[in-house]
Amino acid sequence: MAGQEIHHTLDLPKFDKRVKLLIVVAPYYKDIADNLIAGAKAVAAEAGAEVDLVEVPGALEIPTAIGMASRMADYDGFVALGCIIRGETTHYDTVCNDSSRGLTLLGLNGVAIGNGILTVENRRQAEVRADPADQNKGGGAAAAALHLVALSRKWARQTKGIGFKPAGEEFRVAGEPEGPSRA
């Protein structure tokens, strides 16, 4: 049973300058969303991060809002929160897959996102996962965002010199002797 499993949790990263997170939540199931938010805010506070919160109509709008904010606002990372409970139609599959895909594409483009969108079979599963005193998936999403912010800061401005010629350097093909520039 999953409830008996022991999972390893990384310690929260330490930051030497301010971290600003944006929590984007779809409060379709308001009580569940409120618990996810509480967990995320508590973890952010523990790490010393500043938090803003915006609401969107549903889980499909979360990636769009994060994409807009990543381009137009000043946030270091993002926490995606919401809940999708299986219903009687295939709409559940569409919302789960497309919201996840949107967040993944943003992440692969360098946006630091913790995904706390619950995808569950029933309300009880959502309640347990959202509860800050139980599985605390909101807190886990905030922690994931903070870890990705730490990585982005670690790797910031590091380049490998691939695909461009640094200013003031001559172009040379590997293995050729140094000599007149071929540029």
Catalytic site positions:
91
3-state secondary structure of 68: helix
* Burial class of residue 145 in the structure, from the number of CB atoms within 10 Å of its CB (0-12 exposed, 13-18 middle, 19+ buried): buried
With a CB cutoff of 8 Å and minimum separation 6, the contacts of 49 are: 15, 18, 19, 20, 21, 142, 146
State both tokens at 117: 């969108």
Place of tokens 């379709």: 28
Positions of E strands within the chain: 20-25, 50-55, 77-85, 113-120
Geometric angle at alpha carbon 28, from 60 and 120, rounded to 5°: 75
Report residue 74: phi and psi, to 5°.
-110, 80
Residue 33 exposure: Cα atoms within 13 Å on the Cβ side: 20
The type of residue at 5 is E
